[in-house]
Amino acid sequence: MNKKDAKKRIEELRKTVEYHAKKYYDDDSPEISDFEYDMLMVELRNLEREFPEFSSSNSLTQKVGGTVKKGFKEVVHEVPLQSLQDIFSFEELIEFEERINKQISKSKEKTNYVVETKIDGLSAALKYENGILVEGATRGNGLVGEDVTENLKTIKTIPQKLTEKINITVRGEVFISKKEFEELNEKRAIDDEPLFANARNAAAGSLRQLDSNITKERPLDIYIFNVQKIEGKKFNSHYEELNYLEKLGFNVNPVRILCKNMEEAVEAIKKIGEQREQLTFGIDGAVIKVDNLKLREELGQTAKTPRWAIAYKYPPEKKETILKDIICQVGRTGVITPMAILEPVSVAGSTITKTTLHNEDFIKQKDLKIGDTVIIQKAGDVIPEIVEVVKEKRTGKEKKFKMPTECPVCGAKAERIDGEAAIRCTGIECPAKLLRNIIHFVSKEGMDIDGLGEILVEQFINKGLISNIADIYSLKLEDIASLKKSGTKFAQNLIDAIQNSKNNDLYKLITALGIRHVGTKAAKTIAKKFKTMQQLMDANFESIRMTEDIGEITANSIYDFFKEEQTIDLINKLEQAGVNMNALEEENIDERFSGDIFVLTGSLEGFTRNEASAIIERFGGKVSSTVSKQTTYVLAGEAAGSKLRKALELGVKVISENDFLEMIK
């Protein structure tokens, strides 16, 4: 490659890796795999070495990726939290050893190595004074991180107090275990929330929350792997430090192998690679560290990486197999996902018989056909995926696949919403969606049936006591008492809550039905206009579209929903069960906020945001999520952020919670 082409390619690569580093470190939403990113970095690093005249201190090969997120206080690390240079072969590992031996050739110190798992999570530093946790921070750019002390305190495996009164700063990796990650995504699917791409991003996004209550709900864990700074103690080796950290009460990386030489280190890396499938946590490689701390000082570090440690990345294993069939599965949210049925093949220690094909676009992009020879890849503990088709092995007998137009479970219409890749079942009585639909139906925003939680609903479904939403109203006292330890008293309270829900306003029922794009606000508007469920079901599209604040997409969703046979059947069952189908007359209508638009920001003490919004709407006002010149008031609570600044810039009136209380007296 000539200099002109090299310069152009280096500039292209820098822009590309900076973009993907931002998606990975700052946004916690990567668009490419770790391996693809690593390969881009390898290419960039090699070109910068070959053409040093184009090297730059601003290149990501020379600095740590990541920035401080807005809203967090900055923490300057007393000892930088560096990253590691990645390698992908044992030959590079031998070169690493040769560089070390060359640099310490005159030293009499012995070179042992410690091999540890490279945990796939988010790096953090914990600072203790007199044995008490006083500060916790993310790595950030290595020099400056984010103050996430309160968030880290919610992690049960982080000790608030050590067994000794010592001043120490340690470094660890915050992560979510494989099992906990699966359960977290299952819950998000039920709640119709976007799924996390992988456990690393789930952990990073959870730790970097401005609200520590959200972090508390996430199953975060941590493994400590380094002493950054310590007072009053002296150690000779890294391995000795790790053992001491355990005595202090830290949750230390459980996979750490002391090796006498590089040959043993290579065997340790191979062993971890063979057993990584059995680990309860995800890894993206193995770390090789010089054990002797005196030698570490001699070796030193660059601006980005230590010279005494390196990260071995396991290459993704690829195998050929046959795509025998493509079947469709219906998830709890109604999304119809194509699944590849494969000729069994062993990849990275697991026998793979099937894998997700994500959606229709993925199949078209890969040009997949039933009967194709395909290449499967499984890097580390990542879900197996089809990388490509071996087109030269096609025989002409392969068959094209078409996504179904009807739900394969219930037969209802399957449709793809504009702007989405997913195809969804539209049937409200679809068995595949039953759990999620019932949980939404009984939620506080829906019919508000207190006591009927997810675990109990699942038990009712498994026992065959509930097969559709309307069956809730057929539950008997003895059915409930038999499933709950608290017995008859709890059962009677739940029966009362179910009976009371029959008297809810029409808007609560509309919200509970889970119509796409229809929340509480839209449901209230619809109920107010149409008055009865029957009138809403009989309404034409134009009539729905002309309803205040109802756009074309929402109107289409409502109209199509009430034309489905399953919807009509469910409404009939609910009406027969005695559920109210009419809008209730409002007494003493007070329109004091008529024409006013409120924006809520920060934490309120006396109300949840939903409660404050409900009060504003009851008094005829509207609640918006964005501040504009049309905004009347910004209700600012504790730790109000960008919306408050925007309001001040635009001259919008800002009110406190006390002001709001005066306004609603």
CATH class given for the domain over 431-576: mainly alpha
Q: Tell me how far apart the alpha carbons of residues 168 and 233 are, in angstroms, rounded to a whole number.
A: 10
- Please determine, for residue 380, whether its predicted confidence score (pLDDT) is greater than 60: no
Output the pLDDT for position 643: 87
Domain 3-54 matches domain 74-312 at the CATH topology level: no
Percent of the chain with pLDDT over 70: 94
pLDDT digits (tens, 9 = 90+) for 302-358: 888 999 999 999 877 788 999 999 999 888 778 899 999 999 987 766 678 999 898
Output the pLDDT for position 69: 60
- Please determine, for residue 642, whether its predicted confidence score (pLDDT) is greater than 90: no
pLDDT digits (tens, 9 = 90+) for 33-58: 677 777 888 888 888 888 888 888 77
Output the pLDDT for position 76: 93
C-beta contacts of 416-423 below 8 A and 24+ residues apart: 416/360, 417/516, 418/553, 421/358, 421/359, 421/360, 421/361, 422/335, 422/336, 422/337, 422/359, 423/335, 423/336, 423/359, 423/360
- Please determine, for residue 360, whether its predicted confidence score (pLDDT) is greater than 70: yes
Output the pLDDT for position 257: 96
pTM: 0.60
- Please determine, for residue 121, whether its predicted confidence score (pLDDT) is greater than 80: yes
**Mean of pLDDT values over 286-300:** 94
pLDDT digits (tens, 9 = 90+) for 189-239: 666 677 777 788 889 888 988 888 888 889 999 999 999 999 999 999 999
pLDDT digits (tens, 9 = 90+) for 129-183: 999 999 999 998 889 999 999 999 999 999 999 999 999 999 999 999 988 988 8
- Look up the CATH number of domain 74-312: 3.30.470.30
DSSP letters, 368-396, are --BT-EEEEEE-TTSPPEEEEE-GGG--S
Fold of 597-663: Rossmann fold (3.40.50)
pLDDT digits (tens, 9 = 90+) for 531-546: 999 999 999 999 999 9
Of the listed ranges 283-287, 537-541, 606-610, 651-655, the least confidently predicted one is: 606-610
Helix, strand and coil content of the chain, in percent to the nearest 5, comes to 40, 20, 40
For residue 467, name the pLDDT band (cuts at 50, 70, 90).
Answer: very high
Output the pLDDT for position 589: 66
Domain ranges of the chain: 3-54, 74-312, 316-426, 431-576, 597-663
Output the pLDDT for position 183: 85
Percent of the chain with pLDDT over 90: 52
CA dist 623 → 591, 603, 605, 619 (Å)? 14, 16, 19, 11
Output the pLDDT for position 82: 92
Output the pLDDT for position 234: 92
Of the listed ranges 13-17, 249-253, 589-593, the least confidently predicted one is: 589-593
Average pLDDT, the chain: 88
CATH architecture of 316-426: Beta Barrel (2.40)
Which two structure tokens, joined as six digits, stand for 228?
Answer: 């950054």
Q: Considering 7, 118, 234, 399, which one is annotated as catalytic? A: 118
Output the pLDDT for position 632: 95
CB-based contacts of 124, cutoff 8 Å, min separation 6: 136, 137, 138, 139, 145, 148, 152, 171, 172, 173, 174, 207, 222
Q: Tell me how far apart the alpha carbons of residues 577 and 1 are, in angstroms, rounded to a whole number.
A: 77
Domain 3-54 in CATH: superfamily? Helix hairpin bin (1.10.287.610)
Looking up tokens 């949840």 gives: 608
The sheet with strand 122-129 has its strands ordered as 132-138, 122-129, 168-175, 221-230
**Mean of pLDDT values over 120-129:** 94
Active site residue 118: yes
